[in-house]
Structures are given as C-alpha cells and as structure tokens.
Amino acid sequence: MWRLYTKTAESVVVVSTVRKLLTAMERYQVVPGRVRYAPQSTPRPEWNYYAPFFFKDSRFMSEREFRLIGSPPDDQPVHIETMTGFNLSVTPETIIDLVKLHPNSMPSFKDQVKAFLAGNKIKLAVSKSALSPITLHDPADKAYTPK
C-alpha cells in the first residue's frame, strides 16, 4: 500500500479501530461493513439500499477495505442534491491509535511529524513502519504493477 498510495518517503498513515470510529459517530446512523470485491460484470445485489457502497471491482481486492456509511442525525436536514458527506468533529486522540511513518522516512521526518502534533496539541504515538525500505514508483509509469 505504501508503494501504491504514496509518492515520497515523507508520508504517514494513521492507525485506528472500527470501535473507535463507531464511538466517534454514535450520534449518527452508521452501517459498517467489509467491502466485497467482484468483477464489474458480476451483478450487484439489489435487495439492500447500502449494497452499492460495499462492492468494488476485484482489481482493488488488495485494499481489504472496511467502510462506515453514515447518515446525519434525524434533527439535521439532508440535501440529497448537493450533500456528498458531512463533517465529523472529533479530537484526533479519540479515533487515532498511532501515526506510522513511511519505511523510507528519515529521522528528521519523525521530528517534523512530532513537532506538528505538538504544535496542534495532539498527543499521539509516532513510529516508523517495520517494513523494509521499499522502491518508490512514479505514478506515470504505466509498467508499474503493485505487488
């Protein structure tokens, strides 16, 4: 995933849990679920309103995605024509367990991330990915195939 979604070694991921995300969204109506992967030619189930949100083409299978589909509370208006999402106001510590640094990151990058967190009064653990250093790719390189 580092190769696929990052362009530089100055990249991070945040680690969380489904439980923490659900707790942060307790005011909202939330439908959690694992994404199922199938070729586009495979018919999708019509019996579930949320089914379209939980299916992706099989070429994305390596993502092993889990999604939370949320609706605003009943007392909030919904504008279906223009609404593409809603903001969820949380403190980062309530939903994030850890900040992981790219396996190729330099020690100075860890210092930068820690300084950013401290400057925003965010108390989170920061650690470098335990993966071996990786070869970064150019997204324009059509010959690149994720492993």
Whether residues 42 and 61 share a domain: the answer is yes
* pLDDT tens digits along 82-98: 767 777 778 899 999 99
Whether residues 30 and 76 share a domain: the answer is yes
Collapse the DSSP code of 70 into the 3-class scheme (helix H, G, I; strand E, B; otherwise coil) and give the result: strand
* Domain region containing 117: 1-16+96-147
* pLDDT tens digits along 65-121: 998 887 777 777 777 677 677 777 788 999 999 999 999 999 999 999 999 999 999
Final residue belonging to a domain, choices 87, 105, 128: 87
Does 21 map to a domain? Answer: no
Whether residues 101 and 141 share a domain: the answer is yes
Alpha-carbon gap, residue 68 to 108, rounded angstroms: 35
- Number of structural domains, the chain? 2
Whether residues 60 and 82 share a domain: the answer is yes
Of 29-43, 44-58, 70-84, 98-112, least confident by mean pLDDT is 70-84
